[in-house]
Amino acid sequence: MNQKKIKNPETQVPKTPEMNDRDYINDLLATEKYMTASYCTALNEFSHDALYHEVLGIFTETQNCQRELYNLMFKKGWYGVEAADQQQLQQTYEQFSGYTNQFPHH
């Protein structure tokens, strides 16, 4: 299978043992991903409505920060993604399209 990488040209990063901009941003991105997953779990557990809405606001800010970090890394060529195979996309679409008849409301 011939996958193509989707990414912008890579920015030159010095190869030294010290952390560089890419390392710091990658660390921040990993932290934001962990935090959004944790907030999501917590939001599912809250019974107190005011607390739920307070944490929901924090979750939204954290999620937006995570997205901005991802976009920055992608723009600099530090975060690549694989292009999906068209046949694989069609097979997955057909597989999950068949599940809709199992929903209680169409």
pLDDT in the model for residue 7 = 61
Does the pTM surpass 0.75? The reply is no
Rg (CA), the chain: 19
Q: What is the pLDDT of residue 51?
A: 96
Contact 29, 69 (CB under 8 A): yes
- The pLDDT of residue 102 is 76
Which residue positions in the chain have pLDDT lower than 70?
A: 1-14, 106
* Helix pair angle (21-45, 49-75), 10° resolution: 160
pLDDT of residue 8: 67
